[in-house]
Structure 1
Amino acid sequence: MGDITRPWVVDNELSTRWPVYTRGNVGEVSSTVATPLFWSMIGGPPSEREWQQALAEFGAFDTDEFRDGVIDIQGLVHGYVYLNLSNMRTFGARMPGATPDLMDRTYLGDREAPAYVPHPDDQRPEYTARILATVQRVMSETGRPDIEEHRKTAEKLRSARPDYSSMSEADLVAYQRLVMREYYPMFTRTHLRMVYEGSIVTGALEDAVAPFADPGLAVRLTAGLGNIASAAPNHAMWTLGRTVRQSPNLTALFEQGVASLDERLRAATAPEITDFVAAFDEFLYEFGSRSTQEWEANARTWEAFPSIPLGMIDRMRLQDEDKNPVQQSKRLREERELCVTQMRETLADQPGQLAKLEAALQSVSVYSPAREQSKTNTIRVLHEARLPMAELGRRYADQGIFDRPDDIVMVREGELDALVADPRSFHNTIVERWAWFDRLSELEPPFIVEAGKIPSVTEWPKKTDPGAETAVSGDVLTGLPACTGVATGVARVITDPEDAPDLEPGEILVAPLTDPGWTPIFTSAAAVVVNVGSSMSHAAIVSRELGIPCVLGVRQATKRITDGMVLTVDGGAGTVTVH
């Protein structure tokens, strides 16, 4: 490969109006180098258009504030996705009750950033009025029927999936574009708007519990809500795991290892095994779009790689019944209801503060499930656009045109027509891009960059560099409380969900990130510690639904903690103590 200091294939020019960018928040859902197909088909321009519109619908911006046809809210620097922190600071300046400093704490935690420089357009009364109207709407809503309609639409699209193997190469491209043009914009814009609307609810809850001076109170009040879409796979996997545990024939197949397990299951003829396979296929139909790196064009989805969910089921079958997520959710719900009763009694003579609490609780019960369902809906739709691209990649690999099916992701969306017209002409370009991609993937991108001040990529450290001192006995690592509870156990560092079979019952999972593809592993862990994340991240919401003590945002946890360390995780205090 040649000069990697040049911009990556789909890098974009950073904004000078909003010049500061961060990997905070976005790094947990896009941890690797963005492939050309992902950024040009899914992220980048397609998402930017909807993101700008979502902010305008929220009332915080006008679309004409953004550069026409250019990416401002996101950034791609040597292949790594960034979020525009300056833009979020403007949001904080315009949002009643918020500040630019609050946005820094939300997205950066305790990390430092260049000082906020006010812009004349940051604070304007017309935006405040529009945002207040949104706040009033959000806090008065008792349901989100639009999210339910989207769920039905996504389900209908899934049920109408065509037979990709019978389609021409041009038809595969056309179908992908149909889904991305007719469905994806509406779904992703709604989800992005839900993120901002959800922040209103989070802020309202924190304000309502502030008089109690209990940092873990807001976490307890968002536990055991029920109907959390990203927790549903855990419940389904638990049921499948119980089926395995109760069947000697299934247990014998699982104990041979996860490798080739799917093939062994499908080759068996015993009735309980064929029943299990049928139930597993139903699981894949419903949840097969899930994965880590869920926005990527070549995400390793459960449908395409069934060994991943089978590995998670394998861990669940070993758990005792007290880990049953249904029972855990019931326990958390009862604890939450008791907590609410006690708070109501305390505030009985403070009607104003009690009204704040009641409004916040109502909004939390609406928005936590709705936010997770909106993400699930969006990913399910996106999956139907990725599959024809996966078929195209497999077809060209089978014909010897591609070296591997994944080669398709090294092609930009705008190059697909040329690819179909002359696929062999792309071979050298794809090989060069993979080599380039691999070299960038070795690097640790800066957490914060500024337009015009990006350090040379040759100065970026490698991900394999130590980067942090290993923790020693007595150290207390701190992060964000995600789910209350205390657990002590042996640490198991897992950097990929495909390594789930390494996790033994009673161990503490230490993981790098928090997207929904990870969360089924939570059920098999005594507690969870994660490098990144926030109080409204998917891991936080799911851990609170499952009752797993969880601490997020423990900086470099996967480097400071090693396998075999004994840890005590206090999910309410946000601490990890090394013994």
Structure 2
Amino acid sequence: MREPANVLHCGGSSPAVAWSTINAGEAIPGVVTTLTWSVFGERTERGLRGAFADLGVLTEAQVARPARPDDRVWDIFYGRAAANLETFRSLADRMPGTSGDAMESQLFGTVRPGVSSRPRYQRYPVVAAKAPMAMWGVAGRLERAAEHIAPWWRNTVAAAPGMTADQARGSLDAAMRKFAGVMRPHIVASMLCQGVYEQVRAAAERANRPGLEIAVLTGYGEMAETAFVGDLWDVSRGRLELVEFLARHGYHGPNEGELAARVWRLDPTPLEKLLGHYAAMAESAGPRALETARAAEREAAEQELLAASPRGARTPAGIVLKVARRFFPLRGIGKGAFLQCVDAARASALRLGVLHTEAGALSAPEEVFHLTVEELAAPQLPAGVGDLVASRRELHERYRAIELPEFWLGSPEPVTTPPAAVEGPVVVTGIPVTPGVARGVARVVRDPEVDEGPAPGEVLVCRTTDPSWAAVLIVSAALVIDIGGPISHGAIVARELGIPCVIGTRDGTARIADGDLIEVDGSAGTVTVLQAGDAVRDGGSA
């Protein structure tokens, strides 16, 4: 039997290797449960490495998860997923059209001082041969997977309450196979989006229109990240029943990447207040109206880019824009499909939890979240499972009480002291990803399962986002995110909805207090505290 620390804590890393919780936290934020990491850990590693093999950067023999943490793409430290920056940079430096600097900037929001790209040209011929095949094949792979997984997910969660133990274990196994199968093409699409973003950014620079890529890479119509917002809008208008909405989108919800989370099909309560907000809004403020406006803005930005480009660069720029229109919507398709696999695993695991509780092996069904997939898949739970669950639960709670730095070398030192107070006006800086200026009262959300979401006109300030957050963005005046880059899901959704957004602030949730009156400049990448929350609540003015 594995010790708990081996489940939620990496065995250590060389002092020369840099790690970061940024971006990895977008997939599974915060301290995860044992079951969640046993689903995501090795399967996502293989998906990441498999994607780079499809692109020609790695060989197929290099897809297996390396034994040494230093050689992995990601791992877990104190219960938190972290990305290996050295591995990511090394892989990007082997690809034409991007670089280690571009990868770190777009996926992690910054390039650390003292590091620079080191292009490695040995794999360029292989990438040149394999990447086009991967690029033109990935859309079909993801679309076919999504068409298959969606009805399978609906059938699985509907049948789960009546499953036998063997059926639940079989369903859990199917969920793991489908998760692994969709993760690889999903990451191929994500990596291609990163490369396309870099090419569009470079085209805007050549056209002497820096920053125009923000307007170009939006307005693609009803994307997977925003499709359910349109359906929820229809529920608020009485055009769709809530039960049908949950049958389509019930796998979404607060912290949906965590298997222990209460997604909407288990608890639709978070939707009730949102539906009230939606009902009070004008039809012209609805998601479909916003998407139409964004599409027109994108088309105008594309024409501006082409017209301003040097004559010899117009044809290549046109090709890149066409590729962007095809590939940017794919990220949401892949993420939706693997989240449905996660929810099917959640339903199967909970059913096993009920059966094991009825048999007296567990004290409550939710204890399954402190077991691994392999332990649940076995005909019998491990001997001494009660003590094992208790020790892992205690470890999980202990990890929740500490913080990790955003970047570190080797093994991290937990952060035990709060950041020092900053004298003078508070101005938080980040990456501008949606232009526009908005003022509003800050609603700081650190844990979406506990903290109340924004009221209409408030500014959502959060650590990271998952797709379910799109539902609250439509009522928000602006969005401020600590973690992520210009192609993170939060940035994509904010652009689609036309909401001023600054991402990659690092410490926005620490420096901005709930109730502060703030101004978000999504063009400059700044967030200014205009008035402290106490003064706002007391009726003061800016």
TM-score in terms of structure 2 length: 0.88
The C-alpha deviation readout for 1:348-378, integer Å capped at 9, x for no partner, is xx33221122112111111111111111122
How do 1:443-522 residues align onto structure 2 when only pairs under 5 Å count?
A: 443-450=402-409, 453-455=410-412, 460-462=414-416, 465-467=417-419, 469=421, 473=425, 475-498=426-449, 503-522=454-473
What is the CA distance between 1:424 and its match in structure 2?
8.2
- The 1:397–1:114 alpha-carbon spacing in structure 2 relative to 1, beyond 3 Å, is farther
Which whole-Å deviations, capped at 9, do the CAs of 1:385-431 have from their partners, x for residues lacking one?
A: 2211012223444666534432101112222255x535784112211
Matching of residue 431 in structure 1 with residue 390 in structure 2: yes
Aligned to 1:103: 103
Structure 1 residues 425 and 7: CA distance shift in structure 2, 3 A: closer
Question: What amino acid sits opposite 1:29 in the alignment?
Answer: A
| 1:62 is the counterpart of 2:62 | no
Q: Helix, strand or coil: the match of 1:393?
A: helix
Task: Please state how far the C-alpha of 1:67 moved relative to its aligned partner.
Answer: 6.7
* Offset at residue 117 of structure 1 (A): 10
- Once the two structures are TM-superposed, the CA of residue 229 in structure 1 deviates from its matched residue by 0.4
Kept after mapping to 2: 8 A contact 1:493/1:558: yes
Report the AA paired with residue 448 of structure 1.
Answer: F
155, 161, 177: which is aligned to 1:165? 161
State how 1:110-149 maps to structure 2 within 5 Å: 110=110, 112=112, 115=115, 123-125=120-122, 127-134=123-130, 136=132, 141=136, 144-149=139-144
Q: Are 1:325 and 2:323 matched, yes or no?
A: no
Q: 1:108 to 1:305 in 2, by over 3 A?
A: same
Letter in 2 for 1:56: A
**Which residue in 2 is equivalent to 1:249?**
none
With 308-317 and 11-20 compared, the bigger mean Cα shift is at: 11-20
Q: 1:177 to 1:143 in 2, by over 3 A?
A: closer
Match of 2:488 in 1: 537
Pairwise CA distance, 1:159: 4.4
1:375 aligned partner, one-letter code: K
- Report the Cα distance in structure 2 between the residues aligned to 1:217 and 1:423, rounded to whole angstroms: 57
C-alpha distance in structure 2 between counterparts of 1:104 and 1:206, whole Å: 15
Q: What residue in structure 1 maps to residue 175 of structure 2?
A: 179
Q: Does the CA-based 8 Å contact 1:512-1:531 persist in structure 2? A: yes
Q: Closer, same or farther in 2 for the Cα pair 1:307/1:68, shift >3 Å?
A: closer
Where does structure 1 differ by over 6 angstroms across 4 or more consecutive aligned residues? none
Q: Does the CA contact (< 8 Å) of 2:12 and 2:411 recur in 1?
A: no
Q: Distance in 2 between matches of 1:339 and 1:176?
A: 46
* Separation in 2, partners of 1:65, 1:211: 37
Structure 1 unpaired stretches of 5+ = 244-274
Match of 1:228 in 2: 223
Compared with structure 1, are the counterparts of its residues 242 and 466 closer, same or farther at alpha carbon in structure 2 (3 Å cutoff)?
farther
Task: Pick which of 327-336 and 312-321 moved more.
Answer: 312-321
8 A Cα contact 1:8 1:79, kept in partner: no
Q: Which runs of 5+ in 2 are unaligned?
A: 531-542
Farther off after superposition, 526-535 or 477-486: 477-486
In the superposition, relative to structure 1, how do residues 312 and 338 fare at CA in structure 2: closer, same or farther (>3 Å)?
A: same
Q: Map 1:191-202; keep pairs closer than 5 Å.
A: 191-202=186-197
Shift of 1:287: 0.7
Question: For the residues of structure 1 that align with 2:154 and 2:110, how far apart are their CA atoms?
Answer: 46
The alpha-carbon distance between structure 1 residues 21 and 113, as it changes in their structure 2 partners (threshold 3 A), is farther
The aligned residue for residue 504 of structure 2 is 553
Which residue type is aligned with residue 501 of structure 2? C
Q: In terms of mean alpha carbon deviation, does 315-324 or 395-404 score higher?
A: 395-404
What is the SS of the residue equivalent to 2:220? coil
Matched, 1:22 2:17: no
Decide whether aligned partners of structure 1 residues 375 and 422 sit closer, same or farther in structure 2, where only a CA change above 3 A counts: closer
Aligned ranges 1:563-574 → 2 under 5 Å:
563-574=514-525
Name the CA distance, whole Å, in 2 between partners of 1:237 and 1:352. 46
* In structure 2, distance between residues paired with 1:506 and 1:93: 43
The 3 A distance-change label for structure 1 pair 402 and 550 is same
Alpha-carbon separation, structure 1, partners of 2:102 and 2:252: 32
Identity of aligned residues (%): 27
Aligned residue for 1:178, secondary structure, equals helix
- CA 1:61/1:194 → structure 2, altered by over 3 Å: closer, same or farther? same
Offset at residue 532 of structure 1 (A): 1.2
The alpha carbon displacement at 1:135 in A equals 5.1
Quick one: distance in 1 between partners of 2:153 and 2:130?
Answer: 33
**Counterpart for residue 270 of structure 1:** none
SS at match of 2:461: strand
5 Å-filtered alignment, 1:410-429, equals: 410-417=370-377, 421=380, 425-429=384-388
Report how far residue 124 of structure 1 moved.
Answer: 4.7
Q: Counterparts of 2:516 and 2:215 in 1: how far apart (Å)?
A: 28
Amino acid of the residue matched to residue 411 of structure 2? I
* Other-structure match for 2:320: 360
Q: Is the 8 A contact 1:468 1:559 kept in 2?
A: no
Could you tell me how far 1:540 is from its partner in structure 2? 1.2
The answer on 1:339 being equivalent to 2:335 is: no
Structure 2 residue matching 1:491: 3-state secondary structure: strand
Partner of residue 258, structure 1: none
The farther-off stretch of 166-175 and 298-307 is 166-175
CA contact (8 A) 1:311 1:500 kept: no
Alignment CA distance shift 1:398-1:365 (3 Å)? same
1:485 maps to amino acid: G
From the superposition, tell whether residues 568 and 321 of structure 1 become closer, same or farther in structure 2 (CA, over 3 Å): farther
Instruction: Give the aligned partner of residue 50 of structure 1.
Output: 47
Identify if the C-alpha distance between structure 1 residues 370 and 402 changes in structure 2 by more than 3 Å, giving closer, same or farther. Answer: same
1:134 positional shift? 4.7
**Pair 31,83 (structure 1): closer, same or farther in 2 beyond 3 Å:** same
Distance 1:57 1:302 in 2: 35
SS in 1 for 2:467: coil
- Indicate if the aligned counterparts of 2:134 and 2:188 stay in contact, CA closer than 8 A: no
CA contact under 8 A between 1:526 and 1:548: conserved in structure 2?
A: yes
Q: Which string of whole-angstrom CA distances, capped at 9 and with x for unpartnered residues, describes residues 197-218 of structure 1?
A: 1112111211211134444311
Query: 2:313 matched to 1:316?
Result: no
**Change over 3 Å in CA distance of 1:19–1:523 after alignment to 2:** same
Distance 1:386 1:553 in 2: 31
Deviation for aligned residue 1:576:
1.5
- Distance in structure 1 (CA, Å) of the matches to 2:115 and 2:498: 39
* Equivalent-residue separation in structure 2 for 1:341 and 1:417 (angstroms): 55
The residue type equivalent to 1:438 in the other structure is E
Which amino acid in structure 1 is aligned with residue 260 of structure 2?
N
| 1:301 and 2:258 aligned | no
What is the deviation of 1:280? Answer: 0.7
Match of 2:243 among 247, 260, 281: 281
Sort the Cα spacing of 1:214 and 1:472 in 2 relative to 1 into closer, same or farther, 3 A: farther
Deviation at residue 527 of structure 1 after TM alignment:
0.8
2:414 maps to a residue whose letter is: W
Q: Give the TM-score, by structure 1 length.
A: 0.83
Displacement, 1:502?
5.0
Equivalent residue pairs, number:
524
